[in-house]
Every structure is written in structure tokens, then in C-alpha cells.
Structure 1
């Protein structure tokens, strides 16, 4: 997965377009268990949130929602704002981290949008990151079409939403380190058995038990999953050994 990502990412930083590659094959280690309702499936523990995650909600929440998203994915566009609202409704019981997963067949705009989101977060924090993503989804044509106006429009939106220092933003967008951070989030998606975007994982932070769904869902479905996973902490012990990454 990393080799495919770097091929398109490096091209994206130099040119206005990038080669369209086949979608990466994801691991298939998911399990459907009787007490986990469809469309959710049990997956390996995605792990606790990391320092580099852009966190919405309380850091010590018992439940974490982890979303892998592609800025050019039309289903991610449909899902935009849904997890944010669910975290608000959870009233301190859950937190959220959205991670970037630009799919190769969405080309350079997906990579540029992902890098820009991280660069905005570097300057403006998590709130700016989520503001930029939601604004990007509202404006993109999707499926690799990007924002009208191309890279200058992305830069302008990033500055508007929190990356006010233009020199720092430009350096961040051209940095191999930024590309590396995006690639690492893609590697984490592969370990978590993500099969497409958006991918939504709900983790019980006491036990590590994690369920996932691939594709856009509505807020009610996400609310129910948060409630379900919170209830399981009292009925389930530590996750089995095969949940470890």
C-alpha cells in the first residue's frame, strides 16, 4: 500500500495531475459476530488514539470513533459532519479522530487535500482541521475533480480555515514529512482492515474491542454503535489475543 501511495503522492507535489492507480487491496481480517448487528463487523483493535490524531471530544472518553476519509471520495462527502455531530450528542462519552486515506484512483487532488488538512491542523489545531475538511467536502467536485481553481483554491481555503501563515503552509505542502504522515495514516488503515472510504471504527477504550463499517452511515446508526460499545465494557473482558495489531 505504501509503495502505491508514494508513487501518486510524490507526483502530486510536483505536477497538477498524477497517475491513476488501482485501489489498494485491504486486509480481510474482519469477523461478523451474532451480537454485533449489521452493518457493523468486529475487527482487530485499532489501538488508542495517538498524539498526532486530531482529536474532537474529551481525550479520556470511554469510546473513540476513528474515521478514515478521502477528501475526494463522494461517500465521504456525504458523510461529512455526521461523526462530528455524533460526538456532540455523546456528551463526553466519545471522542473522534479522522485520519486521511487518499485513494490512488482519486489522483493528485485527494493527496493535496489530505496534506492540506494536516497542514491546517499544524497551524490551527483540531478545530481548524475539522473546519477545513467540512469546507473542502462542501466545495469539491469529488471523484478526483478537486476544488474549482485547483491548487490555488485549496491554498486559499487552508489559509481561511486556520493556516494563516502562507510561508509555513507552502513549506508544509511541499514537505516529504507531511507526505510521510499521510502515508502512515494509510498504513494504519491497512492494519485495521479498512476496505474503502469512509471507514468508521468504534472502539471501546477499556477493552480494545472495535467494530467497523465501510461506507457512509447516518447519525442514528453511529449513535447506536457508540451506545452499544459503551454497554459492552461491563459484559466483556479484555479482547482476545488476535485483536492485537
Structure 2
């Protein structure tokens, strides 16, 4: 670890330049002003009962275009692509990751039906640690499995202290990353542009809250159970 960080104090968030978050914050503010947020939360899940699992909006768009910088999980030639726009500080994103994603992965990704892509959409106005957490995941992903890191973060996301700079570094090192290499990337804000790339793509597709899923071109906003998201995949496959 660099000496500058240790002088600040282990476990405390560093004061990072406000300009690093300016674009992401502006995008999130625009979406919230447009009514994309509900009750000051990243998304409010509704009781089961409809195919979308929520009333927050669905629709068909052109769909996300997968690029070489995306983190693709599963069969690259799968008939259905599912893209999740997520926020590492969003409790409903965490709920999906912990409770629903393992089942969805076993039934659809591991079986070759779905290629899955995680994209960042930090809502910085309400989640101040979402942006550094997103950048940390990209720094970690240069050295270790990106999805293993995301899983580690969500598995420990009981409160914001688990997203401190210290914790974000510890997760990476625990998975086998070099702490020094991680520090160089993270302390230098090397991945701010990479995160902004995801935010921009979400903005262009009408994303306004997290989690938001795209099942091919169909947008589904809000928390989904494995069964609900699977039903949307089945529909795309003509089932």
C-alpha cells in the first residue's frame, strides 16, 4: 500500500477529486429529476405477480451493443443476451446478486442459453461509494476474475463501511491481486473513464434506476427474481 493512503487512515474513504464523479453524478441527477428514482432508493421492488416483477417500466429498445470492453459471462454465441446495469451500493442490486443470480446463472448462463454482461450505473447522488466501488472492480478485473470480485463485494455489502477504500482493496488482494498494482490503478482513478462508458451507454438506452436489465432489446427496470428474469429469457427464445 502507498504511504499516502496509510497516513489518511486504514478503512477510511480517501477524498478523491470531485471532478472524477462529475459526469456520472450529472447523469444520475438528470434521471432522478425525470422521475427515475422512487422514495430515495435505487429501485423499489414490487410484490410478485406480473412478468416484470415491478411497475417501473419495460419496453423494447435497440438493445445494448456488446463491445470488447464488456465483461461477458457465459457462451458468447448464446441466443439471448442479458445486460444488467447495476450499482454496487444499491441494496436491490445486492439482493439480486446474492439471492437470485446464482439460480439464474445455473439455469441459463451455465447451460449456454444466455450470455450475461454486467455494466456499471453508479447513482452517485444517493450512493457516494458506488463510483469508487465500480472503479475498484475494474482495477481488480485487470488482475483477477471480474465476476468473482463483484460477487465478493455484494456478498459483504451489509453497510457502506464494506465499500471503504480499504475493503475494496482487501477484496482484490484476497482474490489474488497484487495490492501495489491495484493501488496504482485505483489511486490514479485509471478506470473512471471505463465506468463512465457504461453510464453513457445506459443513458442512451433510457436507464434511470438500478437494477435495470436488458433481455436482448427488452428493457426491464427493477429487481427480478430468477424465475421472472428466466421467464423473459424463455419468451425471447420462443418458449
Which TM-score tier does this pair reach, normalised by the shorter chain? 0.7 to 0.9
* 2:104 counterpart residue number: 86
SS at match of 1:221: helix
> Which structure's relative contact order is higher, taking Cα pairs within 8 Å and 6+ residues apart?
2
| Aligned twin of 1:31 | none
Distance change (3 Å), C-alpha of 1:181 and 1:101: same
Q: How many angstroms does 1:48 deviate by?
A: 3.2
Runs of 5+ in structure 2 lacking a partner? 1-13, 36-49
Query: Partner of 2:209: helix, strand, or coil?
Result: coil
How far 1:37 sits from its partner (Å)? Answer: 5.2
Which structure 1 residue ranges, 5 or more long, are not aligned? 1-10, 29-35, 204-209, 233-245
Aligned residue number for residue 171 of structure 1: 184
- Contact 1:84 1:96 (8 Å CA) reproduced: no
Q: Pick one of 96, 101, 113 that aligns with 2:133.
A: 113
User: 1:169, CA displacement in angstroms?
Assistant: 0.6
Q: 1:74 aligns with which of 91, 100, 106?
A: 91
Secondary structure of the corresponding residue to residue 162 of structure 2: coil
Aligned equivalents of 1:200 and 1:218: distance in 2? 12
Q: Within the alignment, does 1:198 sit opposite 2:211 as a pair?
A: yes
On the 8 A contact 1:72/1:146 being kept in 2, the answer is no
Aligned partner of 1:45 among 54, 62, 70: 62
Task: Please state how far the C-alpha of 1:25 moved relative to its aligned partner.
Answer: 2.7
**Correspondence list, 1:219-238, <5 A:** 219-231=226-238
Q: How far did 1:106 drift?
A: 3.5
Question: Deviation digits for residues 5-62 of structure 1, max 9, x if unmatched?
Answer: xxxxxx96359xx89x68433489xxxxxxx954572232223321111111011111
Where has structure 1 moved over 4 Å in runs of 4 or more? 36-40
Q: Is the 8 A contact 1:54 1:121 kept in 2?
A: no
Task: Determine whether 1:158 maps to 2:137.
Answer: no
| CA distance in 2 between partners of 1:43 and 1:12 (Å) | 40
1:168-211, Cα deviation, whole Å (9 max, x unpaired):
111111334410000110011111111200111100xxxxxx11
Q: 1-side partners of 2:220 and 2:229: how far apart?
A: 10
Q: Secondary structure at the match of 2:215?
A: strand
SS in 1 for 2:129: helix
> C-alpha displacement at 1:216, in angstroms?
1.1
Aligned-CA RMSD value = 2.7
TM normalised by structure 1 equals 0.72
